[in-house]
Amino acid sequence: MPELPEVETIKNELLPHIIGRRVTGVTLFWEGIVHQPSVEEFCSRLIGQRLTGLARRGKYFIFSLTSGEVLIIHLRMTGSLLIGQDSSEPPKYTRAIIHLDKDLNIFFRDPRKFGVMRLVENADSIVDKLGPEPLEAGFTPQVLSQLLEKRSAPIKALLCDQTVIAGIGNMYADEALFAARIHPLRQGGSLSSAEIERLHRTIQQVLWSAIDNKGASVDTYFRPDGTTGTAHFQFQVAHRLGGELCPVCGTPIERITVRNRGTYFCPKCQPQGV
């Protein structure tokens, strides 16, 4: 599932292509991808507008339009946004095409059909509930401490909760907890201030490193030009299946389920109850 580094990479790489382009048409191969407003209204309100900006908040893309409305896209499990020429054949599993002038297309590819598009007057109606951005200056160890205070949920679940912190998902939560030597089942409120400082640092390190490596292509993530990212080659524990050894101590990496999420950790480097 694309997380903050993947969405940030797509945003950065899409931006120079699409800024100032006018939407000339919308093709929907899967109408269920449009959640708001009706399909007819979505198309008629979008066509003719220029794309004036593209931002990321959490795992959402926010496309600004000349009307002041915004197009909000969430890739969910398996979505990608690919850029291509209008004359090119849509990639397999393309569910929607946003046609732009200058012979450009944005292909919304989504094998499992969980992706979502919304056209709304104000992005706040969608992203208001999100927690802070972990790479912004305002996200300090003190802020992380306040977010975790008195929380009894496992730290892994809290890191993946978009209303606590925006943008982190399964892969980068596992990586940040491993680097901070914190067991994924520790209660959020039980972390010491030293552990919170470590976790704050490792969250930022794993996210920046993944952005530098253009995202992790463990599953179905592609960059807009169709190439893959390389961040998964840096992973220490995430998605290390079947008896792989901890790169630090050589202990077999374990997989447990935390709130329905497959979770990878080293039982020696991340002891429970410490």
Residues within the interface to Zn ion (CB under 5 A)? 246, 248-249, 251, 266, 268-269
Going from the C-alpha of 113 to that of each of 38, 108, 135, the distances in angstroms are 18, 10, 29
Would you give the DSSP letter of residue 154? Answer: B
Cα–Cα distance, 42 to 243 (Å, whole number):
49
Decide whether 24 or 234 has the Cβ nearer to Zn ion: 234
Q: Which one from 2, 154, 184, 224 is the annotated catalytic residue?
A: 2
Closest approach of Cβ 210 to Zn ion, in Å?
21
Closest approach of Cβ 252 to Zn ion, in Å?
9
Q: Which one from 56, 59, 95, 240 is the annotated catalytic residue?
A: 59
Q: In DSSP terms, which residues pair with 256 in a beta bridge?
A: 263
Cα torsion through 113, 233, 4, 77, rounded to 10 = 10
Decide whether 100 or 246 has the Cβ nearer to Zn ion: 246
Query: Catalytic annotation on 133?
Result: no
Q: Taking a C-beta distance cutoff of 8 angstroms, is the pair 54, 15 a contact? A: yes
Please confirm whether the linkage preceding 37 is cis (ω < 30° from 0): yes
Decide whether 45 or 268 has the Cβ nearer to Zn ion: 268
Closest approach of Cβ 23 to Zn ion, in Å?
50
In sign, the C-alpha dihedral spanning 189, 190, 194, 195 is negative
Give the count of alpha carbons within 13 A of 84, CB side only.
Answer: 18
Query: Catalytic annotation on 59?
Result: yes
Decide whether 103 or 244 has the Cβ nearer to Zn ion: 244
Closest approach of Cβ 44 to Zn ion, in Å?
56
Query: Catalytic annotation on 259?
Result: no
What the block records as the tokens of 174 is 């596992």
Residue nearest to Zn ion (CB): 246
Strands in 60-65's sheet, in edge-to-edge order, are 34-36, 116-120, 70-74, 60-65, 51-57
Query: Catalytic annotation on 150?
Result: no
Active-site residues, by number, are 2-3, 59, 261
